Amino acid sequence: MDDHRLPEPFHAGELRAQQLAGGGPAGAPIRSQMPEQHRQFFPLLRFLCVGLADDSGWPIATLLHGEPGFVASPDPGRLRVAAVPDGDDPAFSHLGEGSGIGMLGIDLGTRRRNRANGKVAQMDGGGFVVDVEQSFGNCPKYIHVRQLDPVERQRGQVERLGAALSEDALAMIAGCETMFVATIGGEAGGLDISHRGGEAGFLRLKGNVLTVPDYPGNRYFNTLGNLLLEPRASLVMPDFGTGDVLQLQGIAEVLWRADGLDDPRAERAWEFSVVRGWLRRAALPLVQLA
């Protein structure tokens, strides 16, 4: 039975990453349309992780939010998102018809997550519609379980950052348990955004270089494969206590051996050299329940 699986789901960078890592997955149910369980999952979400590209081709990672149902699937090939980036979000001006987009739906309470990548087909004042080109699930490992509720917040200022990060940005990185990384790869330059998580301290920062451990997963190596083709990347880190959101752009390099990495679970790592960033105060109207 045709379930819309792509005959060759991986581009050259992903195939090379799988080779360098010692092998890819036994199977890869990456589809050109969303299965019914994915279509039913997205409307349950309170936030959506999004990867876009700016005018210079840099990825920019962000989070969109709304009441459950703000993301919906009118048919298996489309997602409708009733939200756009806030005006102070560096991604604000880079969402438009024809834009490539990577999306990750993640429920931190149940550890479910699904990806949907494609192109923006339509914009209106309150949101946008995406033509889905890739749809696939991810393993639930390393997701820090949280229950989130909406909360009203008094929005603060946006702190623009260079390679030298502020004390508040450093503190967010040190306490980070959940982050998302946007990358670009493939011949068509498709956008992708994925999750990285662990205990506070799993990210190591020295100077302006952030080391990210790579733990065992589904062996698709979407992110690492993209980085082999395009080393520019973007991170977004939410603080579910304060609502602060840290967004960074930088250059990544994959370290295929984990020699010297003080993390026994890591099979390899990648280094992210910070170029610029934004710290948006109280930008996420969600709070972690005690």
- The 10s digit of each residue's pLDDT in 68-78 is 999 999 999 99
pLDDT at 139: 64
Residue 7 — pLDDT band, cuts 50, 70, 90?
confident
Handedness of CA 40, 41, 43, 49 (dihedral sign): negative
Question: In this structure, what token pair is assigned to residue 29?
Answer: 């149910």
- Identity at 130, one-letter amino acid code: V
Q: CA separation (Å) from 179 to 109, 128, 172, 253?
A: 16, 24, 11, 18
Q: Considering only 39-43, 56-60, 107-111, 117-121, which range has the smallest mean pLDDT?
A: 107-111
Q: What are phi and psi of 95, to 5 degrees?
A: -110, 120
Cα distance between residue 226 and residue 136, in whole Å: 17
The C-alpha atoms of residue 98 and residue 131 are separated, in whole angstroms, by 10
Residue 226 to residue 109: CA distance in whole angstroms: 29
For the ranges 166-175, 198-207, 220-229, the maximum mean pLDDT occurs at 166-175
Are 60 and 91 in contact, with CB atoms under 8 Å apart? yes
CA atoms within 13 A on the CB side of 78: 9
pLDDT digits (tens, 9 = 90+) for 16-33: 999 998 988 877 788 999
The model's pTM: 0.95
Percent of the chain clearing pLDDT 90 (strictly above):
74
If you average pLDDT over every residue of the chain, what do you get? 91
